[in-house]
Amino acid sequence: MNTDFENEFESRSHRSEASSTFRRFTRYLSTRPTESWGFFVAGLMIGGFFL
């Protein structure tokens, strides 16, 4: 049976995993030239506009 403490611990661990994943991803993007990820982001924005 999960207690409030266990639920809070699980939610914090999920948040920390997501933030560390995001930090790794942004660190990866910072090592790449703008052309490689800029067109990808522009494509996502244009696709989101039309869909």
Q: Write the pLDDT tens digit of every residue in 26-38.
A: 888 888 887 888 8
pLDDT value of residue 35? 82
The gap from C-alpha 18 to its chain's centroid, in whole angstroms, comes to: 6
The mean pLDDT of the chain is 76
Q: What is the Cα–Cα distance from 14 to 22, expressed in whole angstroms?
A: 12
Q: Write the pLDDT tens digit of every residue in 9-28.
A: 555 556 667 678 888 888 88
Domains of the chain: which residue ranges? Answer: 4-50
pLDDT value of residue 20? 83
pTM greater than 0.85: no
